Chains A and B, each alone.
Chain A
Amino acid sequence: MLVVDALTKTVPGGRRVLDGVSFSVGAGEFVGILGSSGAGKSLTLRAISGLTELDSGEVRFACEDGTMCCVTRARGKALRAARRQMGVIFQGLHLVKRMTVIENVMMGRLGFIHPLRSWLYGFTDAEAREALEALDQVSMKPLAGRITGSLSGGEMQRVAIARAIFQRPRLYLADEPIAALDPRNAEAILNLLQPLSRHNPVVSTFHQPELTRRFCTRVVGIREGRVVYDGSPELSRSELAGIYGIREAQAV
């Protein structure tokens, strides 16, 4: 489904922020990426959707026609064709605050829409009805007409997920989807993501090992740009300590 192969990246100043990151994702998986702040989790996700220039390494992705296409080397149309198969769930600030909730959701399918049509009138009524269903799945239907900027952080997070659902991608990428949410909302979001992953795999970064243990099927641990753990979400204390670079006694 998705193969991440030996990604390396050096930033100006000479520091290696990605140092041979490799893992792969198959059907039905919910992969949680763990790692301390600055380990390179977000950068890995950005590399998967082709938003970051890499020094070397490849991201391969099973495209619509079944062939594996290389996201890293794709440009223009080919890159967009790969991207529209990946639903990205970033934090709320990635929504357009001045537009309505339902419009933000419908933007999920921009990759499939002819540019000329998007300049003329945007989306169709059929798409609007479908977007409303996606919002219903995240229990945001009553707020569909609101201006997005007036929502709370948790509500925006749901809108971002509804956008990804509406996009109907073959893979979901989420960067800290539950950051800045209270425990109840965080669980609610995870309860949304988990069933999605049964049909199309989810790759998501987290800061909560206890939650990846409960919801994920697999954990990838990244430390200083390197994959230091790849396996079951039932991490031992020493494995956890290895990911976060702390002594065993301090690991929860």
Chain B
Amino acid sequence: MVPYSARRQLVRRAVGFGLWLGLFLAAAALCDLSPEILKQGLGKAPQFAREFFPPLWAAADEMVEPLLSTLALASAASLLGMLLAFPVGLAAAANIVPVWLRLPVRILLGAERALPEILQLLFFVVAFGLGPFSGMCALAFSSIGMLGKLVGDAIEDADDKVLESLKATGASFWQVIRYGLLPQVLPSLAANALFRFDVNVRSSVVLGAIGAGGIGAEIARSMGMLQYNRATMAVLGSLILIYAAETVSGQLRRRLLEDGRS
């Protein structure tokens, strides 16, 4: 028999497209995704352009301090996350700790990754009040959520032979970890932490708007006071910060990976 049918091809493509379109229209209806709203919103575009542009250049020097504070927040959270990710990763590795420890740690790490950072921030604000410390906790915890899992996976995949031979020389548990595991895991942990730094800079801008201070708070405040051109200035600052962080983290990661290869 001919294992091909033009009609089946046509039907398959049509059903796939129809299904997609149907689901999209249903979702769009639920989200009030109607052309009228779109038209009405787009009608405001010229007025927006006038209110948001040009940026309020005079406010440029007021942005430096919040930008630095956002950068410090993201950096501290990334460093803290990286430092704590190793012990947490140890506790999440099947070849290091017993199941009764690994399972809850893994579940916590999974929950950590599943919950949006803003939601986590809300809880930290309940405990520590508004301010950079709560923001740092939220970012550090979600960094641990990602890095801890990656470290745990890396340790589980690590070369067992190295560990066995170290144990055979009579090394203690901590020596095995220090000389057998750490060197194997550290390069990838550093690379992932650099990636996480990039993510954290972006997130710290967002968290700032909810109460972690920094440039995010500056944007939110300007919008709230209807000083839209000041908000544009702040956004411009955050764009530069994000772009710089992305570039630096990318460069460092590339150098790290090249070092690892040579």
Contacts and interface: CB of A to CB of B under 8 A. Distances in A.
B is a partner of A: yes
A102 interface: yes
A122 B7 CA distance: 10
B9 A122 contact: yes
Interface of A: 100, 102-103, 106, 120-125, 128-129, 131-132, 144-145
A39 B10 CA distance: 47
Interface of B: 2-7, 9-10, 13
A120 B4 CA distance: 15
A132 B13 CA distance: 23
A129 B6 contact: no
A223 B10 CA distance: 51
Contacts, number: 36
A121 B6 CA distance: 7
A114 B10 CA distance: 16
B2 A121 contact: no
B95 to A, nearest CB: 36
A171 B5 CA distance: 30
A100 B2 contact: no
A120 B9 CA distance: 9
B6 A100 contact: no
Contacts of A122: 6, 9
A84 B62 CA distance: 66
Contacts of B10: 120-121
Nearest to B9: A121
A99 to B, nearest CB: 11
B4 A123 contact: yes
Contacts of A123: 4, 6, 9
Contacts of A129: 2
A41 B2 CA distance: 38
Contacts of B9: 121-123
B2 A120 contact: no
Contacts of A100: 3-4
Contacts of B7: 125
